[in-house]
Structure 1
Amino acid sequence: MRTTPAGGVVLVGVLAWISGVLQLFAGVLMLVAGDHPVTGWLHLLVGLATFPVCLAIFRARVWARIVLSVVFLFEIAAVVFALTDLRFLATPAVTSAVLAVFGLVLLYTPSANASFRQATIDRRNRAATAR
């Protein structure tokens, strides 16, 4: 039986999907309208990296929590470049950064911590039973 992640963890997964889509959109905008193609490619890379990690976050994988935290931090940093490059067209990137901050807060609530801890214990117990 699989452990169901806490509601906040599921919400983070959904927010990460949305944030990934917004990062892809911002990356395309930056490649088309911006002066710095490296920044656009960075947004595209961050957006694409978000999707497979979301699948693991729905399973309360600890490694996904760490990777998603790093991705959220990169998204926040990428907004600084988007604001300097796109100015008024940076709305998707700013929205993505707000979602990233909200996601970081939700990833480390007490219920999320308990959910990840319980999922790890359950996986270890299943592995020990399978031997």
Structure 2
Amino acid sequence: MSIQITRDRSAAMRHIIHINGQAIAADATLAEGGEGSGASPHDLYDAALGACKALTVLWYAQKRNIPVEDIGVTVTRDDSGERAGIYRLDTQLTVSGALSEEQTAELLRVARKCPVHKLMTEVKTEITTSLSLSSR
């Protein structure tokens, strides 16, 4: 899979992220020289965790016939220790449906094991970066 990010020259720092035919705007905050016209890279990182938890819980509930009607996730970031190597994300799931205590506990266990949660906490990510010059 390949994700393409292209500059949107209509704004100072705005870029458009292209994923599977979808477009998502990314921008820096006003304080960082952008216009705040899109999600910041940190926002996207945090949102990936929340979206993964919501999708994982819903998928699991559907597979197990657990009567989940709706799911919402709030991700709260504490980046005050980021420069010291600590980046904290608090995820709060809100689930509606006629759920037993056992089902609620089961869904919480599943949410804690979503693939992005594991990726962020258990997997070593290796990144390579290269740069090529284009003639414009």
- TM-score tier after normalising by the smaller chain length: 0.3 to 0.5
**TM-score computed with the length of structure 2 as normaliser:** 0.32
| Bigger-Rg structure (1/2) | 2
Structure showing greater relative contact order (alpha-carbon pairs closer than 8 Å, 6 or more residues apart): 1
Q: Which structure's residues are more often strand, by fraction?
A: 2
